[in-house]
Each structure stands twice: as C-alpha cells, then as structure tokens.
C-alpha cells in the first residue's frame, strides 16, 4: 500500500525556482499543492533539481522516490533546449511513468507552454525550439495516455502566455505561476476518483 503524501520529481520548475521562500530556498508549486491537499510538511518530498533532464530524473530521482499516494513530475525542458534526442526523451518518459503508475498511485504531469516565445534567442533557433516543444507535447499526450497518467494541459491555458506568469528569464514561473500550477493540479487531481489521504 502506498504511503499517504506527495512526492515530486523533475527539474527547476519542480524545485520551485522563481518562487522564493521567506526563510530561504523556494516555496514553489509542490509546497503550495501540498497545502491545498491538506498534507503536513513531512508528507511532502520535493526531489526536483535545477538542470535535470528526463534521463537525470529517471536515473537519480526515481530510485529515491519511495512510496506515495501521489506523484507529480515536471521535466523535459532541459532535454528540449540542449542536445535533444527524441528517442531517448520518449523512452525516458515511458520508463518513468510506467514505473510510477505501476505502484497504483495517482501520477500527474504537465505538457509544455510556448516557452520559446519568451527566450532571448535568434528567430531561427526559436523556430527549432518550437518544433521540439510541439513534438514533446505530442509525446507527452501519447505516453501519459498509455500509462494512465493525469496530464495538465498548460499549452491550452492562456494564462501561461502572460508575462506575469513567468520570471524575467522566461524559463521559470513567477510566484503567480507557481500558484496557478498548484491550483490547476489540485483541480485535476480532485476531478479523479483517487483520494490522496492527508497526513
């Protein structure tokens, strides 16, 4: 039986960058979501690491994850903006979501909004990035459907195109963006029949 609580895996989006905590470090959507679900701090684990790729999450974070009633995963942007390997990207997501969903827990993730629109890059590279992000969203839809993973469709939500949702670097959500993500994730989870037990 899975332990109650939330375990989050991913990159700096999961880590909470862009949403600093008063005591240092980051608050982020993970802490905000845990609060909305009524989880005590000790029932929330955030394994997100700045710069992590899907391969890093699979290799380094998944073995540390342990058991939970709810897993949240946000990763992939670092794959897309660097030396992108489409086959490895899909293989990593299949392995990651397959392993997590096999535990019987609720698993959720998100696709990718138009991040390239805000990046200070040449237009020809912006076009290349947009092609990669579109491909990644198609992969994400296919992989999550195959493994019964809940998918938060950020690419279809207009609020994720607003400047105030992001920090100045264009890569990380602002505090408002982290609040938006936590609220949308809570709504998505509540729409399922799964119950995440408060602890």
Domains of the chain (ranges plus CATH)?
6-190 (3.40.50.1110)
d(CA 185, CA 183): 5
pLDDT in tens, 152-175: 999 999 999 998 999 998 889 999
Query: Is the separation of the CB atoms in 189 and 110 below 8 Å?
Result: no
pLDDT in tens, 106-154: 999 999 999 999 888 899 999 999 999 999 999 999 999 999 999 999 9
Name which of 32, 79, 52 is nearest 173 in CA terms: 32
pLDDT in tens, 14-52: 999 999 999 899 999 999 999 999 999 999 999 999 999
Query: What is the pLDDT, as a whole number, of residue 191?
Result: 86
State whether residue 39 is helix, strand or coil.
coil
d(CA 135, CA 154): 15
CA 195 to chain centre: 20
């Amino acid at each position: 039986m899975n332990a109650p609580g939330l375990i989050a895996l991913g990159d700096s989006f999961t880590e909470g960058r862009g949403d600093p905590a008063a005591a240092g470090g980051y608050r982020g959507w993970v802490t905000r979501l845990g609060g909305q679900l009524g989880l005590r701090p000790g029932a929330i684990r955030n394994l997100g690491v700045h710069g992590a790729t899907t391969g890093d999450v699979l290799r380094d974070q998944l073995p540390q994850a342990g058991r939970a009633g709810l897993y949240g995963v946000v990763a992939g942007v670092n794959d897309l903006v660097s030396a992108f390997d489409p086959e490895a990207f899909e293989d990593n997501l299949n392995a990651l979501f397959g392993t997590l969903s096999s535990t019987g827990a609720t698993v959720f993730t998100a696709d990718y909004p138009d991040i390239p629109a805000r990046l200070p890059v040449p237009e020809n590279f912006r076009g290349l990035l947009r092609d990669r992000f579109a491909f990644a969203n198609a992969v994400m839809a296919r992989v999550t459907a195959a493994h019964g993973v809940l998918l938060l469709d950020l690419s279809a939500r207009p609020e994720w195109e607003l400047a105030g949702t992001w920090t100045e670097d264009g890569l990380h959500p602002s505090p408002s963006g982290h609040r938006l993500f936590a609220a949308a994730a809570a709504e998505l989870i509540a729409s399922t029949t799964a119950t995440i037990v408060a602890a």
